[in-house]
Chain A
């Protein structure tokens, strides 16, 4: 077999493998849009579920997910960005920073259902928050911490060294340098991490199973100590636990969840590529 032929065969096989990885995105989107689009209406998005969730809308699930996701980001972004500032600007590469990095890798690898157990043990039971938006948001917040820290670190590291040198040589303190010469340039990267974190928190089910999610609660939460429905758990419930939910309601719920998560991720991808392209230094 000639070398050119074997190269052609090998490249074709690699290309096929790549198609196998990427095509499911298209197929899943196509199926869900085709079967779920007919369910989407004003009434579906903005009214309460009725008749044991087989009719009506999914408003409490949508709002519940928004509350949870905002709470998670509110908790994780300040903490995550500060941790990234510590790792990039303060610690250098000492033993302790190596430990922190290892901890972040492990936080990223802990199974989502174990986060659920942890949230149940610490927030619901130990701190007595009960099954509530607060418990769920904190659990999700810790879960997305690695995403936020990793993006913020990348953003901070991409700011050139001499920005800091110049600022320090003009007599600015270390914090003033970070605050005025480093953080503003890292902001788009930090935003990217925040949006990725939003998307991740919006789609996760296992961490909220025992910490907040209500099976069926056709009213809106009044405080952060209330339980709430949430989109991913609602999709799980109506597709496996409740018989007789019409097909288009299931697909419609999947469509709303998928659209929310994919739009957030698309926004993050676009923001990041623009950020990388626009850097002039």
Chain B
């Protein structure tokens, strides 16, 4: 009797611990936001939000310091758009090939290859980009430095592709068989079926794939810091060095004084990044749910 009660008590505790673990994910998201606010909000005692977001100069250690992150936002935007322009068409095409055309064994091999590409640490990709792609771009365009927004875009495109391919491939595979069978029965070729029926039916999932790929690019730090040249100025061309939001935090946190305005400004950039990725992931999640229905 008492052993049964003991067991019931033990199970009650285990089940509460399991429930608590479920709650923790929500708590962590909240904690991340709270701690970013805690360290970052003090910036806005001396600085308006408007000047911070739209200020054209980022001189954090001059006197007086200037904390305008517009050059950093534009830097991130330029690198991200460039990377998306490369990664989206290639990634979606590869997803169609892997899901619809590649035969069994080749398909498994390609999927493993893409998973491995996704696994390569960003600092290794940055290292390779810096050493091989940088000099190549420098010679190709005959410019003073090969570490430019374009170098960042190409490097980051390869980091976005695995995300885009694997999520889009899932969405394409999830399109019901009957769609394909009906199209083939109507006399459509395999390609017409793939392009006009399957790709169209998988569109919400493809949109989600693209958004998550873009989310990965915006948040990428080490590779982008190593290959974009790190000049916090408003870019006028894709062949200029730029500085992204993420690289600014990583590069300058070590030099800032804890509790100072510069330190708070870097956390405020973190708030901006958190909100951007939160929105992107939220919307992508909505699209994914629509595609599963």
With contacts A28-B120, A205-B123, A209-B250 taken as known, whether A3 is within 8 angstroms of B189 at the C-beta atoms is yes
| B215 to A, closest residue via Cβ | A109
Chief secondary structure at chain B's binding surface: helix
Q: Is the CB of B128 within 8 A of A17?
A: no
Q: Is the CB of B18 within 8 A of A118?
A: no
- Assess whether A85 is interfacial by the CB under 8 Å rule: yes
Q: Is the CB of B97 within 8 A of A205?
A: no
| Interface stretch of the complex, out of A55-63, A159-167, A262-270 | A262-270
| A102 to B, closest residue via Cβ | B285
**Which residues of chain B are near A107, meaning CB under 8 Å?**
25, 28-29
Q: Is the CB of A109 within 8 A of B221?
A: no
Q: Is the CB of A21 within 8 A of B116?
A: no
Say which residue of A100, A109, A210, A235 sits within 8 Å of B22 (CB atoms).
Answer: A100
Q: Shortest beta-carbon distance, A259 to chain B, in Å?
A: 11
Would you give the 0/1 interface string for A245-260, flagging 1 where the beta carbon is closer than 8 Å to chain B?
A: 0000010001001100
Q: Is the CB of B101 within 8 A of A114?
A: no
Q: Is the CB of A18 within 8 A of B93?
A: yes
A6, B11: Cα distance in complex, Å: 64
Q: Is the CB of B110 within 8 A of A18?
A: yes
Q: Shortest beta-carbon distance, B38 to chain A, in Å?
A: 6
- Assess whether B176 is interfacial by the CB under 8 Å rule: no
Q: Is the CB of A18 within 8 A of B24?
A: no
- Assess whether A20 is interfacial by the CB under 8 Å rule: yes
| B270 to A, closest residue via Cβ | A117
- Assess whether A242 is interfacial by the CB under 8 Å rule: no
- Assess whether B36 is interfacial by the CB under 8 Å rule: yes
- Residues of chain A at the chain B interface (Cβ within 8 Å): 3-4, 6-7, 10-11, 13-15, 17-18, 20-22, 24-25, 28, 31-32, 78-80, 82-83, 85-87, 90-91, 96-97, 99-100, 102-118, 120-122, 125-126, 142, 145-146, 149, 173-176, 199-200, 202-206, 209-210, 232-233, 235-236, 239-240, 250, 254, 257-258, 261-262, 264-266, 269, 273
